[in-house]
Chains A and B, each alone.
Chain A
């Protein structure tokens, strides 16, 4: 599909297309609100909750990008595994009574905001100004085709990433255990 030519120009709010658009707007709102909380909340637990909200919104965006499989993986891996791991680390390593407040370092004030705003502005200007060219699809990108590609074209990468994950698990146990006698 050519991204420059949308299917429907102006659907009404109560038509199915309009409701789809409304759900997409809600997903954008959820994602950006969660990202804002995750980047700016003073307490780490609240930042982590914002991260969960943001990842859920990103899963919704993946659903709009024709990939319910990746939406499910986003929920399973990020919300289910990574955020739970971070919450355990917050419980073990970031006690609330030792928390310092106030700005830290020279980059925390307006300079950090300006750097982030410059990166965002540059990347979105690039996205808006470029003439993107689409090509005809050679397949439909279903879960079946992802599985075939994973076990044929990308089988080497698939094996390597399993080894990386195994080494990461063993390394995490070894590093976190260090210093304990038993």
Chain B
């Protein structure tokens, strides 16, 4: 199988989505600021969306369902980014930092 025809296979897209999700998990675990963790969460959402779009293109009987679901994921991601970043700004105003190691007021 040539590398030039891999865009006709479902598994290519699934592996790309899994890789984006893996990068997102790695970033979420290793980042030390809240904004970095939010960037990693956006990466994970992108991986999930690629998966939905791939199933929509290759397997689903109705190819509008996956696109509509991905559209809703985008809307939720936009709402999540707006709320998350406003919380980050509020946290920064109160603590003067967004480092996860310094935000330990709830640490038992």
Q: Which residues of A contact B (CB under 8 A)?
A: 1, 3, 6-11, 13, 17-18, 20-22, 24-25, 28, 31-32, 35-36, 38-40, 44, 47-48, 51, 54-55, 58, 61-62, 64-67, 69-70, 73-74, 77-78, 81-82, 85-86, 88-90, 92-94, 98, 100, 103-105, 107-108, 111-113, 115-117, 119-120, 123-124, 127-128, 132-141, 145-146, 149-150, 154, 157, 161, 164-165, 168-169, 171-173, 175-176, 178-179
Contact = CB atoms under 8 A, between A and B. Distances in A.
Interface of B: 1-27, 29-33, 35-36, 38-40, 42-43, 46, 49-50, 53-54, 56-65, 67-68, 70-72, 74-83, 85-94, 97-101
A140 B67 CA distance: 12
Contacts of A70: 53, 67, 70-71
Contact of B78 (A81, A89, A140): A81
Given A36-B23, A74-B74, A119-B22, A135 B60 contact: yes
B99 A100 contact: yes
Contacts of A20: 4, 7
